Structure 1
Amino acid sequence: IQKLGAEVFEKVYTYLKQAREQKASEEEIRRYLEKMVSRASDCFEVDQLLYFEEQLQDSEAHLQL
């Protein structure tokens, strides 16, 4: 949030979450992010956050079984 700013972080987070759910290509994601930020690589940490959230949800689902 500090790197991107709260507003941009929220947009990037929302976009990446939807893009990953829809299985968008890496090229498509990169092009979109480059329109939002000067360097798409700045969004890598947001992508990591989404990955870890997904892993946590999967772990919780397994624990409930």
Structure 2
Amino acid sequence: IEKLGVEFFETVYSYLKQVRQQNASEVEIRRRLEKLVSRASDCFEVDQLLYFEEQLWASESRLQL
């Protein structure tokens, strides 16, 4: 949030969450991110956050079985 600011963080987070569920190509994702922020590499940490969130949900669902 500090790198991107609240508004851009929320935009990038929502975008990445959506496209990761759709299995979009890395090239397509990078192009879109470059239009949203000056350095697409700043979004890597947001992508990591989404990955860890998904891992957490997966482990929680396995525990409930």
Q: Report the counterpart of residue 29 of structure 2 in structure 1.
A: 29
Q: Which runs of 5+ in 1 are unaligned?
A: none
Q: 1:31-64 CA distances to partner (integer Å, 9 max, x unpaired)? A: 0000011111000000000000000000000000
Match of 1:44, as an amino acid? F
Runs of 4+ in 1 over 2 A off after TM superposition: none
Match of 1:64, as an amino acid? Q
Deviation at 1:14, TM superposition (A): 0.1
Q: Report the counterpart of residue 43 of structure 1 in structure 2.
A: 43
Normalised by the length of structure 2, the TM-score is 0.99
Match of 1:35, as an amino acid? K
Q: 1:4-45 CA distances to partner (integer Å, 9 max, x unpaired)? A: 000000000000000000000000000000001111100000
Tell me the secondary structure at the aligned position of residue 24 of structure 2.
Answer: coil
Is 1:14 matched up with 2:14? Answer: yes
